[in-house]
Amino acid sequence: MNLEFGKRPKEIYYDNAATTVVDPQVVEAMQPFTEEKYGNPETPYHLGQESKAAIELARSQIADLLGCSPAEIYFTSGGTEANNWAIKCVEYALNDGIVISAVEHASVIQPANWVGRERLIEVIPVDKLGKIDVSLLTEILSQNAIKLVSIQYANNEVGTIQPVKQISELCKEHESLFHCDMVQAFGKIPEKVSDFNPDLVSLSAHKIHGPMGIGALYVKSGTDLDPLLHGGGQEHGMRSGTHAVSQIVGFGKAAELCWSNMNKEMLRIRKMTASLFGELKVKVNAIRNGDPTSCLPNILNVTIPNVEAAVLSGILNRWGICVSTGAACHTQSGKNHVLAAMGKTELDCKSTLRISMSRFNTESEIVMFVAYLQKAIGELKSRAILSTTLP
């Protein structure tokens, strides 16, 4: 493929684990509820009832994708609120503890630490692929009164899928609740809640081509959970606050589109991810991080030896190529607790890119990305040579 490096290429967006472009069909579904259908769903007249009906349709669309009853879906402002709600509002007894893994998202780690000021908090380490040791979880549950186990379905940095069915079975055996942060996995795998039987599941729209600012918490029927927000009594008194109707509608439509396209698109994306890694392994000596067999289809986390990934990402951005060095919440600190927990050195962490695809990416982008990546690495190396030769 002949590339004209003097010209800026068409934008290549490879940071879909951070957020996704809103699908045009989602925008179309949302549009009426930003203009003519503006009613508050708590009001009795036709404008309010149109909004209420749209919310319940969206609730059903999301429930269909998750495989649960619509009554078990509660809308939140996003995955962070859902995680905070699940962790902070379980009814803890005096000696009840919490278990999380070392690779959880910050919106699980920080609420757990907050609750853990007054109780036991156990952090389970992971192996070099990013998976927890189930035998260690068994030991912890056997020796302690654990009220809640919060372990993600799949990691947002490396894509590794946790043994959630085993985790759930252990929790049921020891009468602990199982909360699963499914924000990255939802809409990318055909898993239903009936397949692994969690008590609480966090979801977010903007990872599946829906809008930002809307998420949900699945609360299994019969699970005791207090509200995090009090006030107007919306969501059957479980989550107060006027509904963000257009965002909810968008979330529902995004879930519907995921359901209708999942099998075909996720197979295509998995093939693209494998193809890209094959190219990077040969051409830039890339090393894949995470479990290559039990992982999300769209996330490829690679270490490129002796390359400063943050600078590399900046060079690629000049050419319209968007790729990250990890989760958006890590960009300020420059640290990656996930890779560190997997045993990676500080140098490895600084040399790592997270590439994440979506259904809007194409095979032709792979060739262009690899070519520009090689060019960027060449520029980095020439800078290093120049800096060592200057007096």
Q: Active-site positions?
A: 329
The tokens describing 62, both together, are 């999301």
List 216's β-bridge partners, or say none: 75, 203
DSSP category for residue 305:
T
By CB neighbour count within 10 A (0-12 exposed, 13-18 middle, 19+ buried), where does 173 fall? exposed
The tokens describing 45, both together, are 């007249």
Rounded CA gap, 148 and 145, in Å?
9
Instruction: Answer for the pair 108, 80: CB distance below 8 angstroms, yes or no.
Output: no
- Sheet containing 299-303: which strands, arranged edge to edge? 287-289, 299-303, 352-356
Length of the chain: 391
Q: What is the DSSP pairing of strand 215-219 with strand 287-289?
A: unpaired
Neighbours of 375 (CB within 10 A): 15
Using alpha carbons, select from 290, 285, 269, 381 the residue that is nearest to residue 342. Answer: 290
